[in-house]
Structure 1
């Protein structure tokens, strides 16, 4: 269902008194916003670095509070679970009434958020992809939620959830699940070929070792033994950055200057990035990567190794029961690295009742509710208390690597800067050119650095608020 039809259905089916403004105009300018997002970090130079009013929680809710919640139309299990959670929350208490609005996923959702922010029509509680938090916070689209989240809840969150939700020393978002990534392998295939199976992050294959493994597997009959899930590598999609920035980090590179984020030159096009993507391009040139753009390389048996995320484990394990292991991404020289982060909840700038919003968020963060959502979408529970309810993440469990990486610092956040949308777009397009078109690695990354630095210059380096 497209954005217009979703919007019309919502408008037709909800009471007018709960609608402050209509959603229809947002969809009319979505295409323009998408084009704008391709070339900018998403921040508005006017009011840049603004300090929005905090989301204040004093423990009091006066009368009956109505809050509107926006949610991306993610996997069906995820969506239906949230619907049930909203229904149960509304049914078990009478002070806070939650109105759930689901909108199109991916870039259309981001376009709607940006349009709504420009016209002052954001909801009381917003669901968004985690790396967008920094742009939203910097440009004044979100309000800090420090006073709403108790210390006990913060302590229970995985360190990566706290890290992703923090910008400029403030907490702006929390999530109910995190992500994990690794190499999925067929244990029986590797054992037959005499290939060792890494036991954990400290035991990861080196990139050179993986090259030899792929060549050995090709001799075993796997024409293109490595699946990179290139079906996700569409223009503007996040997979190229989420999936393959870890190779750059592992080689000692970065997408932008760490710390101050003042320039991408010398980082996204630096020696580490060039080394990692040259290695990967060589795999493509040697025919070691499955270039078929579907999601069946691993389950169909075309590839024996799949570079992918947590969401594929149920499918892979169903295809090969008991024969799937998850091992770390390869070490390109400085140790294995992996991605982290997923959708988070934040409070948009406006007049939302912080206590009412937190009442609902605290319900979603209850151990049973976090566990319930992670079962539905296959993601990693965001809290330690919920992880304890999930035996697959316990030591010896099939997905223990994911939680180990999130706890022990192997997982890294994508650059925590308002420039992230521009960084991701430039790197994603560069990666696609390098892998699909066999474009010169150094020159392609040089162009990506120029694009990112152009965005930084257009926003004066995204200065922090000094008021």
Structure 2
């Protein structure tokens, strides 16, 4: 009897130890896409596949609305409550890495071969984040509208010039067929402003900060080229060519498709919707050249590992798992974003060679410009956004830009140059 009890106990202990050996360690993950059904389904599929693919880790997702996400991460970092896996907007990553919120990824050699540069987040010589997609902005137009008004269809090799673009806007507004000639997306008052509009400034010859040192905005955000940009920017609103800062978000989202706007400056994430509504009539055109080459924004949301994660190997393993071409392709087909690799693009409906959105690959390759790669970008972007909003609402151009420069320079100084040296 004693022998049987001893044997039973030994079996129970062996079973318990065996179960413990195969128990999966939980990895917490935060994502900014709450409210997007398609994104939720795609992320949950990757998580489900990863959890089933191995016995070491299990990822558990928590979603946040995009508008509240960054503040939630910063608050959690201060409180010491960051999850294992976070997603981060590309230009924000240097700030989070510098602030100690993130740690470099642990990826296999060659894991990022073939990835678009804008999908890889590097800071201080290390890769901290990687995206399943990149994003690009284009000028949306109806081919029929351009032809009816004798407007040249631009190409990457021959984009519209500043004067040509201005004349086009005046021509379209004068038809009386549209509420406004151009929808800039002024209702989207977050990261859209620096992402979508600082390339205009850069095409004029200015910038948000001086990238030769990253220690000042003087001369680039308030120099002659920047003032010329600001005066042109203000004129768009004075001439009633574009909606102002009080634009309703619903109008921004549907106005081009509904025919209220002749042109639309928008990202490839709404291209699928435009294709479904307008078919072959919709065109995705390159940015105008305001004198220093046509430019658009680069870098989108990416995945990284928090600095406080006790399991960076598991968190990095999940991120590397998510980089498989079929997942990159699924996100592209689902929400219209640019697949991060050519291999994945070939698997998609829209970005495969000859596909209706293949043009965005060319736009990204030819015109994409990263926002300033500095921890100070997060503050500078807010000042840029305020300046553009103020100028749109009638503020003196030079005063608004000088105020932004003063604030940005004071922030850089108070943070000891964010690690950059004279």
- TM-score, shorter chain, exceeding 0.5: yes
- 2:333, 2:350 within 8 Å by CA — same for their partners in 1? no
Q: Per-residue deviation at 1:372? A: 0.9
SS of 2:305's equivalent in the other structure is strand
The equivalent of 1:323 in structure 2 is 281
- 1:225, 1:290 within 8 Å by CA — same for their partners in 2? no
Alignment of 1:59-208 (within 5 A): 64-74=24-34, 75-106=36-67, 108-145=68-105, 148-162=106-120, 165-200=121-156, 202-208=157-163
Question: Equivalents in 2 of 1:351, 1:136: separation in Å?
Answer: 14
Question: Equivalents in 2 of 1:100, 1:312: separation in Å?
Answer: 25
SS of 2:292's equivalent in the other structure is coil
Q: Answer with 1 or 2: which has the greater Rg.
A: 2
The equivalent of 2:344 in structure 1 is 386
- 1:326, 1:398 within 8 Å by CA — same for their partners in 2? no
Q: Per-residue deviation at 1:273? A: 2.0
Alignment of 1:35-74 (within 5 A): 64-74=24-34
The equivalent of 1:358 in structure 2 is 316
Question: Equivalents in 2 of 1:319, 1:205: separation in Å?
Answer: 26
- 2:182, 2:263 within 8 Å by CA — same for their partners in 1? yes
SS of 1:225's equivalent in the other structure is strand
Question: Equivalents in 2 of 1:182, 1:169: separation in Å?
Answer: 31
Question: Equivalents in 1 of 2:221, 2:84: separation in Å?
Answer: 37
- 1:125, 1:345 within 8 Å by CA — same for their partners in 2? yes
Question: Equivalents in 2 of 1:324, 1:351: separation in Å?
Answer: 46
Q: Per-residue deviation at 1:394? A: 4.3
Question: Equivalents in 2 of 1:379, 1:280: separation in Å?
Answer: 28
The CA deviation string for residues 276-299 of structure 1, in whole angstroms up to 9 with x for no partner, is 232122122111113443223211
The CA deviation string for residues 161-204 of structure 1, in whole angstroms up to 9 with x for no partner, is 22xx011111111111111101000100101111111122x221
SS of 1:304's equivalent in the other structure is strand
The CA deviation string for residues 97-120 of structure 1, in whole angstroms up to 9 with x for no partner, is 1111112322x2212211211122
Pairing 1:432–2:389 present: yes
SS of 1:299's equivalent in the other structure is helix
Pairing 1:256–2:191 present: no
The equivalent of 2:13 in structure 1 is none
The CA deviation string for residues 402-451 of structure 1, in whole angstroms up to 9 with x for no partner, is 2113334x20111111111111100001111111x121111111111111
Alignment of 1:440-455 (within 5 A): 440-455=396-411
- 2:346, 2:352 within 8 Å by CA — same for their partners in 1? yes
**Structural RMSD (CA):** 1.9
Question: 1:266 pairs with 219, 229, 246, which one?
Answer: 219
The equivalent of 2:374 in structure 1 is 417
Question: Equivalents in 2 of 1:378, 1:298: separation in Å?
Answer: 17
Question: Equivalents in 1 of 2:266, 2:181: separation in Å?
Answer: 14
SS of 1:443's equivalent in the other structure is helix
Q: Per-residue deviation at 1:159? A: 1.7
- 2:333, 2:349 within 8 Å by CA — same for their partners in 1? no
- 1:90, 1:98 within 8 Å by CA — same for their partners in 2? yes
SS of 1:153's equivalent in the other structure is coil
SS of 2:66's equivalent in the other structure is coil
Pairing 1:398–2:361 present: no
SS of 1:262's equivalent in the other structure is coil
The equivalent of 1:219 in structure 2 is 174
Q: Give the aligned length.
A: 394
- 2:182, 2:262 within 8 Å by CA — same for their partners in 1? yes
Question: Equivalents in 1 of 2:235, 2:356: separation in Å?
Answer: 31
TM-score, structure 1 as length reference = 0.80
Alignment of 1:339-378 (within 5 A): 339-378=297-336
Question: Equivalents in 2 of 1:215, 1:103: separation in Å?
Answer: 41
Alignment of 1:230-245 (within 5 A): 230-233=186-189, 237-245=190-198
SS of 1:402's equivalent in the other structure is helix
